[in-house]
Amino acid sequence: MCRLGKLEKAGKLFEHALALSPRHPDVLTEYGEFLERSDVTRANHLYTRALIFAPDHSRALQNRQRTQPLVEQNDLSQLERIDRKRDELAAIPESSAALRRIKKEAYFQQIHHTAGIEGNTMTLAETRTIVETRMAVGGRSVMEHNEILGLDAAIKYINTTLVNRVGAITLDDLLQIHRRVMGHADPTAAGELRTNQVYVSEHVPPPPGRIHTLLESFIEWLNAPETLSLHPVKYAALAHYKLVFIHPFSDGNGRTSRLLMNLIMMQAGYPPVIIRKQDRYIYYRTLQLANEGDLRPFVRFIAECAEKTLDVYVWATREYVQKIGDETERSPATAHHEQAEDDFVRNFNGDDLVRLRTPSAHREPQELPIDEIRLGASGPQLVEPLVQVIDDEPTQVTGELRLIRVDRRDAATLLPLIQRHIAPGTTVYSDEWAAYHGIDAISGGNYIHRTVNHQNNFINPADQAVHTQGIEGAWSRAKLDLMRLKRGTSPELLPGHLARLWSRP
């Protein structure tokens, strides 16, 4: 089939065979040979996996030996590229207003994404509100609030106490980080080693009786001269993997491991690596591959995240300076400053964004993420779109929420707005407000309309994907910000206030 030029079909057949027999050495080897011309790194990984399950497989051994030098050179080139970008970032003075603002935005991004990897559903806007105001947002659980507060406390501890400290990383440092990560969510377990056996998907961590010995060995490895001689990205990734493999705590292991990784990165002059919650499948998949014997995919994944983080820092700082200069005394409330932060956010969530055109032909398109739309009936109407393309233009994703003011909340007002703003075929989630009952019947819409009864539940008990929690939290944040404005919220002023509040996610 490959000889006939049907490469795409052959690739699908190999993927199917691999799904049926993921540990069959012949399947792994033949698929590696098929991929070698286009992706030598993945081919080499497949040969390595074949040898994990069949150490004497001659073809896999020969193929790995042949491709290993190429892969090692590719990995080295990636690390050298990352170092050049780190040096470019290091050349920006610490006094730079642009750099300070980007670091602040990255702080919220780090908390938002590392919590999101673990299933926290807070939006970036809600995360920022909780960290800045210490006030609750509506529609979110107490546990989710406490996870955000714990990460905030742990990162502040690392930044103020550990990053610039001279000396080795100790076991007490790890316990102190975990104590803050879990201090709000579960104070009794915070900073305490687990005393029970836990199970993590396909991984069975060591029994509790071995944890202290394993941690002592881990700390010894962490500070050994040969370990410290590793490239910082590789060192940080391996430290992350080793700690999460031991899984020393009942909860919070992933968050603590990612914070340890970023402590090592910052001590070496890199910004904290942000692993996007959108990439959690790759993150967990490469961790599983490491558990099976090949750590390189995980190290490469962390390197890719580190490079992307550096790209966004450098790009956003450069854009900021080009737009407004780099004067440290400029007012932080200017639209240009807010745009610079928008640029950072959009660049970070770059894979998933589409454009949604505004009703007026005289305005530029507003960028909104689309996938599924959630509608709320209380207060101004809000749409929370999450992937469906409306325009054919190549785009990027922000993760934003938008509030849209309407004069009336009846079907005659809302249904035309839905038809105008939401792409046909989109899944629409809403409460059971009567005006939404006609969504299914909108001509040409082909919408899939699913509801939750807010009189009984905020989440549909039959399908927990159906909820409007984000809307409730967003409206709570909007009201909080409106109160801070100390201005009226008349129908004439409200649209302008909402535009300011939702100019960034």
The upper half-sphere exposure of residue 163, i.e. CA atoms within 13 Å in the direction of its Cβ, equals 17
Q: Taking the C-alpha atoms of 406, 410, 413 and 415 in order, what is their torsion angle to the nearest 10 degrees?
A: 120
Look at residues 501, 504, 403, 477 and name the one whose alpha carbon lies nearest to residue 130: 477
Quick check: helix, strand or coil at residue 232? helix
Integer Cα distance of 395 and 415 in angstroms:
27
The upper half-sphere exposure of residue 59, i.e. CA atoms within 13 Å in the direction of its Cβ, equals 12
Q: What 8-state DSSP symbol labels residue 136? A: -
Cβ-proximal residues to 407 (8 Å cutoff; 6+ apart), any chain: 413, 491
Integer Cα distance of 303 and 307 in angstroms:
6
Q: Taking the C-alpha atoms of 491, 493, 499 and 501 in order, what is their torsion angle to the nearest 10 degrees?
A: -100
The one catalytic residue in 113, 145, 247, 497 is 247
**Structure tokens given for 222:** 């962490």
CB 316 within 8 A of CB 347: yes
Residues of each annotated binding site: 200-203, 251-258, 283-284, 291
**Does the annotation mark 336 as catalytic?**
no
Residues of each annotated binding site for ATP: 200-203, 251-258, 283-284, 291
Q: How many CB atoms lie within 10 A of CB 188?
A: 8
Integer Cα distance of 180 and 364 in angstroms:
45
Quick check: helix, strand or coil at residue 402? strand
Cβ-proximal residues to 339 (8 Å cutoff; 6+ apart), any chain: 323
Q: How many CB atoms lie within 10 A of CB 83?
A: 17
CB 324 within 8 A of CB 339: no
User: At 194, which amino acid appears?
Assistant: R
Q: Tokens 């819409």 belong to which residue?
A: 445
Integer Cα distance of 328 and 331 in angstroms:
9
30 φ, ψ (degrees, to nearest 5)? -65, -35
CB 152 within 8 A of CB 108: no
Integer Cα distance of 46 and 324 in angstroms:
49
**Structure tokens given for 64:** 């790995």
Q: Tokens 């703003």 belong to which residue?
A: 421
How open is the CA angle 73-266-300, to the nearest 5 degrees? 30
| Residues catalogued as catalytic | 247
